[in-house]
Amino acid sequence: MSALYAWLSRHPRLVDGVPAFWLALIGVPSVIGAPVDGFRPGTRVLMLLIVAALAIPVVFRRKYPVQGFTIAAVAGALQLIVFPQP
């Protein structure tokens, strides 16, 4: 068991990449399937950038916790401002 913990501590970005991957995996299909009637042409691109800005900081959260939180918080606020509907 200690060998597993040692491996996990030696590979923090890989370990944190797993939840980041799942966040992106959940977010991208909701963007692709979202109705964008009445939105401008670049709406899906902006939605994908927001999903990326919410998922990618998870990978770097151990080395840069404040910056990762700031990026995710700004992306979440932007999502609420630009796309207020569920």
Among the residue ranges 4-18, 30-44, 46-60, the one predicted with the least confidence is: 30-44
Per DSSP, helices labelled H in 1-86 are 2-10, 12-32, 43-59, 65-82
Give the least confident one: 39-43, 61-65, 81-85: 39-43
State yes or no: pLDDT of 47 exceeds 80: yes
Structure tokens at 84: 């207020």
